[in-house]
Structure 1
Amino acid sequence: MKGGQSKAEATSTDQRLKTRGRKPGKKTAKDPNKPKRAPSAFFIFLDDFRREFNLANPNNKSVATVGKAAGAKWKSMTDEDKAPYADKAETRKIEYAKSMQQYNLKLASGTNRADDDDNKSEVDEAGGSAEEEEEDD
């Protein structure tokens, strides 16, 4: 072929591209105990704005309309207007850092399982099972 790849070269390139990255269908499971990431100042503003917008426009069902209106208002706000949201975001970021530190300590010690905190079995609380008590007699 003039000026291009041969069919064999093109096929081998395609095969290499297909095998790159992680394999499809194999997702890593998310840990339900992992703390949720702290929202940015805009998302804290968006939460308040969404409530106000929905009260003012009860017939609006479009998420895009709310997002566009919020983005336009956020851009038009001064830094002084954004300051309360930035402060809340900073506070939540600090709380998130603390909870992540605790989470990482639990992971390191190996005690971060779903049944560790609140879901103790009846065997643990009673100090033994009924079968063990019968065997002692």
Structure 2
Amino acid sequence: MKGGQSKAEATSTDQRGRKPGKKTTKDPNKPKRPPSAFFVFLDDFRREFNLANPNNKSVATVGKAAGAKWKSMSEEEKAPYASKAESRKTEYVKSMQQYNMKLASGTNRGEDEESKSEVDEAGGSEEEEEDE
């Protein structure tokens, strides 16, 4: 291997110290991060752009046009989007606090156990029929 590392050393961990091949599972109940002011603007801009250019199929064209318009806008023009983004961020912070409290109390784990028990019950009835 280049750099004086053996194959075992090179594959033992990645840059963050995690072992390769180990994927972390995402919690579907975790709130999504809020969009920035630009992405709030992009939602509105995309609708307008697609109405003005119905034959456009390129995502890159929309992105480039949105970026150019965002750069040309003054701070006063960007202010409504920044305020929307800030309000979404405060909602996100509140929902993350609730989510973290549920994790601390173990509520989310209980929901997972319920779904597993329902699966076990369905599978268990087949096993009971086989035993008889």
Gaps of 5+ in 2: 119-132
Q: How far apart, CA to CA, are the structure 2 residues paired with 1:114 and 1:52? A: 45
Contact kept in structure 1, 2:12 and 2:20, CA below 8 Å: no
* Structure 1 residue 18: Cα displacement: 2.4
Q: Which of the two has greater helix per residue?
A: 2
- TM-score of the aligned structures, taking structure 1 as reference length: 0.72
Q: Where do residues 88-127 of structure 1 align in structure 2 (5 Å cutoff)?
A: 88-113=84-109, 115=111
- Match of residue 11 from structure 2: 18
Distance 1:101 1:115, change over 3 A: same
Q: Which has the higher contact order (CA 8 A, sep 6+)?
A: 1
Contact kept in structure 2, 1:33 and 1:114, CA below 8 Å: no
Q: How far apart, CA to CA, are the structure 2 residues paired with 1:9 and 1:70? A: 43
* Amino acid of the structure 1 residue aligned with 2:12: T
RMSD over aligned Cα atoms: 2.5
Q: How far apart, CA to CA, are the structure 1 residues paired with 2:23 and 2:103? A: 20
Indicate the percent of aligned positions where both proteins have the same amino acid: 75
DSSP 3-state at the match of 1:112: helix
Gaps of 5+ in 1: 1-7, 123-137
Deviations 1:59-118 (A, max 9, x none): 1111110000000000000000000000000000000000000000000000014838xx
- TM-score of the aligned structures, taking structure 2 as reference length: 0.75
